[in-house]
Amino acid sequence: MTTDTARVKAALREQHIETPSWAYGNSGTRFKVFAQQGVPRTPQEKIDDAAQVHRFTGIAPTVALHIPWDTVDDYAALTAYARDRGVSVGAINSNVFQDEDYKLGSVTNPDPAVRKKALNHLLGCVDVMDATGSRDLKLWFSDGTNYPGQDDIRARQDRLAEALAAVYDRLGDDQRFLLEYKFFEPAFYATDVPDWGTSYAHCVKLGPKAQVVVDTGHHAPGTNIEFIVAFLLREEKLGGFDFNSRFYADDDLMVGAADPFQLFRIMHEVIQGGGYGDHVAFMLDQCHNIEPKIPGQIRSVMNVQEATAKALLVDIEELGRAQRSGDVLGANAVLMDAYNTDVRPLLADLRQEMGLDPDPMAAYARSGYFEKIRDERKDGQAAGWGA
């Protein structure tokens, strides 16, 4: 294990984890949304909550928006609002999955009028990026079919390619889109972007401003996600992560909760593959259905930070030596030594050096912020779906 803790801490100081505005709103399953107290009613209040996560962790300075959930009249004013609270607007997430028109798909819909509507939404999201200074447009399509024969799989790929090309052409020099894949749901027979290979193939055709985003919850059980990460980094096509945890499907649980070892293995490949930097966006895409939301986000940021610290502790020289000499057990032991290290004292030290409380969860609980929003946000409509 490396003993160069100064280097590890320096790298950790640079880490940047983005929280999603939708994590602060009410959420649930298709069975029930359990409303919580103090839930934001506006995009501004979601930003207030995101600023708290940054205040206590020091490494969550951006918040992703979801359009139209976070639609406002004046995006420049929203950007200034965020800046005044010490955070800024991160990725813009498009939403072409919640309109009646999209029953048979959005950009792959057989009806050209629906395709046009969906494309206009995506182009409108780039306008929001222009107004907020956001670099990344996240594209996730619920498009697909439920039954064999329902539509022409190949024609749907053509329609997808056409829409992606139009969005790509609209991007500014410093903007990118991140194409997300998901192997099922809400379409159950064939999803139009089911896997990293489909996303990758579309992105390669378009160029460097098209990148793949890996949502850790969007794989079949047993998928080796770190292999995908290593491969995409090698091809310079990994744009970022939507981090969360799954046990069974797209569970959207806190990242690192279900399988912290997998998160460590992913971070190891990120670091090994030169993906540790701002060109790979580390975003959370989670819901907190039964646990409190702001602490849920703080815990999640800490989980990513812990996995990163362990991955930074891997003795790369020693690992390389063992690998080159075919020392199977030795190489494995180098990784496991780092993984089995308790990095919490190192992170507590780091936080103190950064002027933070060493225990972000306890500091938030003591801060009185929850009591304040619980009282202030009693009236009005809480953000979320169905609450």
- Interacting positions 191-220 with Mn ion (CB under 5 A): 215
Comparing every residue's Cβ against ligand PSV, the nearest one is 140
Q: Which amino acid is at 327?
A: D
**By the rule CB under 6 A, 182 interacts with ligand PSV:** yes
Q: With respect to ligand PSV, which residue has the nearer C-beta, 136 or 215?
A: 215
**By the rule CB under 6 A, 136 interacts with ligand PSV:** no
Sign of CA dihedral 244, 202, 228, 272: negative
Give the three-state DSSP class for 18.
strand
Give the three-state DSSP class for 340.
coil
**Residue 137 to residue 246: CA distance in whole angstroms:** 24
Q: Binding residue for ligand PSV (CB under 6 A) from 49, 151, 192, 215?
A: 215
Q: With respect to ligand PSV, which residue has the nearer C-beta, 223 or 341?
A: 223
Task: Choose the one of Mn ion, ligand PSV, none that binds residue 93, judging by a C-beta under 5 to 8 angstroms depending on kind.
Answer: ligand PSV
| Least distance CB 142 / ligand PSV (angstroms) | 7
Q: Binding residue for ligand PSV (CB under 6 A) from 57, 79, 93, 297?
A: 93
**By the rule CB under 6 A, 237 interacts with ligand PSV:** no
Q: CB-based contacts of 256: which residues, under 8 Å, 6+ apart?
A: 243, 245, 263, 300, 303, 304, 306, 307
**By the rule CB under 6 A, 22 interacts with ligand PSV:** yes
Which single residue is written with the structure tokens 């790298």? 11
Q: Structure tokens of 255?
A: 């990242």
Among the listed residues 144, 143, 140, 124, the one whose alpha carbon sits nearest the alpha carbon of residue 132: 124
**By the rule CB under 6 A, 180 interacts with ligand PSV:** yes
Q: With respect to Mn ion, which residue has the nearer C-beta, 214 or 312?
A: 214
Q: Binding residue for ligand PSV (CB under 6 A) from 140, 177, 200, 243?
A: 140
Task: Choose the one of ligand PSV, Mn ion, none that binds residue 182, judging by a C-beta under 5 to 8 angstroms depending on kind.
Answer: ligand PSV
Q: How far is CA 382 from CA 34, 36, 82, 361, in A?
A: 12, 9, 20, 24
Task: Choose the one of ligand PSV, Mn ion, none that binds residue 299, judging by a C-beta under 5 to 8 angstroms depending on kind.
Answer: none
Task: Choose the one of ligand PSV, Mn ion, none that binds residue 22, judging by a C-beta under 5 to 8 angstroms depending on kind.
Answer: ligand PSV
Ramachandran angles phi, psi of 377, nearest 5°: -105, 35
- Interacting positions 282-321 with Mn ion (CB under 5 A): 285
- Interacting positions 225-254 with Mn ion (CB under 5 A): 242
Q: Which amino acid is at 357?
A: D
Q: Are 33 and 333 in contact (CB under 8 A)?
A: no
Q: Which amino acid is at 5?
A: T
**By the rule CB under 5 A, 136 interacts with Mn ion:** no
**Residue 203 to residue 195: CA distance in whole angstroms:** 13
| Residues forming the site for ligand PSV (CB under 6 A) | 22, 93, 140, 180, 182, 215, 242, 250, 285
- The residues of the shown chain that bind Mn ion, judged by CB under 5 A, are 215, 242, 285
